Chain A
Amino acid sequence: MELFPMKASAIESRRRGQQLVGPIDLTLEGQGATVVIGPNGAGKTTFLQLLHGTARLSAGRIDWACSTEEARHHQAFVFQRPVMLRRTVLENLSYPLRLRGVSKAKAEERARDWASRVGLAQLVTRAATVLSGGEQQKLALARALICDPKLLFLDEPCAALDGRAMREIETILQEVKAAGTRLILSTHDLGQARRLADDVLFLLGGRLHEAAPAEAFFNGPETPQARAFLRGDIVE
């Protein structure tokens, strides 16, 4: 079952009469990592939520290669501030599997496997809420990946993390990308965008200003706003 190509047609998000995002037209294919960049307030989070389906479209439509319900089933989302269930690390990891009817024994076995993969094997019996920020984000990432999603959204996954935690997270992301999971992540860390991106979407004021392969974008952005953003200027 294929999710891609995904076609977003004139998608918009408005709240209390204010235009937050759009209208945006976009087609995404099923390979690699797309990095959404732009300054704070550009609408990156809302844009990801619209694509994922957790924010309601005010206008426009999103078509997947399969039904929307099936597409949702094969997606996962990692939030900027990881949401920790008030449970142990192991229970947090096994939760999505238990929702899908996997037996407790199998879910826990898989959870232990993922805990090892993200370096949390020693912490499986600890309460998730007492973990450090980096450990929580690794747990959130493992929990998102435990159901083998075909598409993973990440909303600034390394914001407020130290260098070591960021490197660990990026290593996991490179691995899952190599294993065939499609990544769409937002960041305003240009270094991270350069390291991870195959394609770049540059958002500003809720509008898609530029969509290009990463190399082309970083070597020669087309719009003056993107050039200013890459120079480190303040763009509005």
Chain B
Amino acid sequence: MVDIWSGITQAFWLVLTLDAELVEIAGRSLYVTLTALAIACLISLPLAALIAVKRFRARRLVIAVLNALMGLPPVVVGLIVYVILSRSGPLGVLGLLFTPAAMIIAQVIIIVPLITSIAHQSIRDLWQEYHDLLISLNVTQSQKIWTLLWDSRRALLTAALAGFGRGIGEVGAIMIVGGNIDHATRVLTTAIALETGKGEFALALALGFVLIGLAVAVNLAIHWLGQTEREGRW
């Protein structure tokens, strides 16, 4: 109980004094996760729309695999990305291992199935609603996909927020591919793991509270920007 209280007060002071190290770590956490989220959305949303509207032989299999991959173990993803990016791996020449870029790659792999799966369900429901009208209007495939993405944008925000939540709280994969290097790849989650290992529970808790605060703030900001939960909107 003392540790929790001490953690809260320490978190308060760290934020209030804009502790340089905290700002750096929190900034890197946001940078890595938001970049991964942006890349993942660029992949996931059109993919989800395409799976919803396109009829092809392996469609059910693709949906089942995507759903299964939502539970992809981050440590395994980290290990695979590590092997690929390591000096002897196929992409070793790029020299990305133990850089934020490697952490972004790992997070993209982890959150793409999650965003795609949630987005697909929303878009599929909307497609059922719009099907007859869009077919009647003779829309092209790209017009169809754009219409569905635009009209389900608020539901897609939820999918993106789920992806953000998974990414910002992720530790296993980015620890492996980032290495938790001070002033280079250390982020809030890996710093929490490190401080806990050192027995600095109060500081670890403080960082944890900052992480929670950051996640809530980003969620609120996206909700506010997306104008969700307003009367007469979707």
Contacts and interface: CB of A to CB of B under 8 A. Distances in A.
Nearest to B129: A83
Contacts of A99: 137, 139, 143
B130 A96 contact: no
A69 to B, nearest CB: 9
A76 B136 contact: yes
B135 A54 contact: yes
A202 interface: no
A54 B233 contact: no
Interface residues of B, number: 17
Q: Is the interface of A mostly helix, strand, loop or mixed?
A: mixed
Interface in A69-113: 72-73, 76-77, 79, 83, 85-87, 95-96, 99
A79 B233 contact: no
B7 to A, nearest CB: 44
Given A79-B132, A85-B130, A87-B151, A96 B233 contact: no
B232 A54 contact: no
B2 interface: no
A101 B232 CA distance: 28
Interface string B154-180: 000000000000000000000000000
A212 interface: no
Contacts of B151: 85-87
A78 to B, nearest CB: 9
Given A73-B138, A86-B151, A99-B139, A127 B133 contact: no
Contact of B136 (A77, A126, A129): A77
B234 interface: yes
Interface in A123-143: 126-127, 129-130
A109 to B, nearest CB: 20
A54 B143 contact: no
Contact of A72 (B129, B138, B147, B233): B138
Contacts of A127: 232-234
Name the 10 nearest CB pairs between A and B, nearest first.
A83-B133, A77-B136, A127-B232, A86-B234, A86-B151, A54-B135, A72-B138, A54-B136, A96-B137, A99-B143
